[in-house]
Amino acid sequence: MLSRTADNLFWLARYVERAEYLARIIEASTRLANLPSAYAGTSNEWESAVATAGCAHLFYQAHDKATRETVIDFLAFSPDNPSSIRSCFEVARTNARSVRTALTVEMWDAINAAWLELSKYRASGLNQDEHLANFLSFVKETGLRFDGSAYRTMLRSDGYWFSRLGVMIERADNTARILDVKYHVLLPGAEQVGGSLDYFQWSAILRAVSALTAYHWVYKESLKPWLVADLLILNDQMPRSLAACYESIVRNLDSLSLSYGRQGPAQRAARATRTKLESARIDDIFQSGLHEFVSEFITENNRLGAAITQQYLT
């Protein structure tokens, strides 16, 4: 297929995934911010939302203070934020338009309908909780609909594999980023271990990657920070864990190399990261530094994205 088409499919999938993640961040932050400070602590949840979304630098160019209004506006609607939900949908639709022939009707419908629907929501209306909830579920449903359409209707050929690679690389990045920002609440601390403050932080992290129920099914325990980290990093049953993302990335890259009859740096890099995740144990990760581990992962994941671009998309 055309390199440009593959590039568009890859980024289209990434942007839809990112939009959904942003919706979850806003949702989790709203919950935390609404808790009495006795439960949630005095930290500014909106500051950490901006950090988790990876756009703190841009945000503070536009706003002095992270409040509910400024953050929701910036993450959801701001045209100045190239990664706002609005911008994500806009870029996704532009990408979709320019590769219409590579999309199924269902995928196009999902994107096009979302773009038309988006115009109904205004930042000002979202001060009311009900509107915000509707908006966030609309964004999450768009992600589900797009993903489901791709899964159910796309030919299993290179276009599908590039699209999956986009989803997985973005997803791995998002999960790693939330760990990167929140790692401190997962570390064993002197005073607050087991305290209610961290409990709600942990559940917020799990909510942001829609893994709260999964946690209970997997561990059958109350929330423990190292288990939260284990679930998000190493548990390959958990669809948003780094391990599950890389299992999928390696599989899709293998399909590409089989189909094209050759492999390159992207396949080698992905396998190396996957092997690392397979052989790691959560105790060791805590021992040698959760923060270092996650930062290194983010760098490797970005490098893989660049390798895929170099090898296939230009």
Assess 263 for contact with another protein (CB under 8 A).
no
Contact letters for another protein, residues 96-125 (x by CB under 8 A): -xx-xx---x--xx--x-------------
Binders in 216-245 for another protein, by CB under 8 A: none
Binders in 139-158 for another protein, by CB under 8 A: 158
| CA distance linking residue 112 with residue 97, whole number of Å | 9
| CA distance linking residue 305 with residue 94, whole number of Å | 21
CB of 100 to another protein, least distance (A): 4
CB of 305 to another protein, least distance (A): 15
Name the packing angle between helices 212-219 and 196-208 (round to 10°). 110
CA angle 310/313/314 to nearest 5° reads 70
CB of 142 to another protein, least distance (A): 17
Assess 22 for contact with another protein (CB under 8 A).
no
CB of 261 to another protein, least distance (A): 8
Residue closer to another protein (CB basis): 75 or 313? 313
Residue closer to another protein (CB basis): 162 or 202? 162
Task: Find the radius of gyration of the CA atoms of the chain.
Answer: 19
The distance from CA 44 to its chain's CA centroid, rounded to whole angstroms, is 21
Residue closer to another protein (CB basis): 36 or 261? 261
Measured over the CA atoms of residue 281, residue 284, residue 286 and residue 291, the dihedral's sign is negative
> In Å, what is the CA distance from 122 to each residue of 13, 119, 128?
25, 7, 11
Assess 6 for contact with another protein (CB under 8 A).
yes
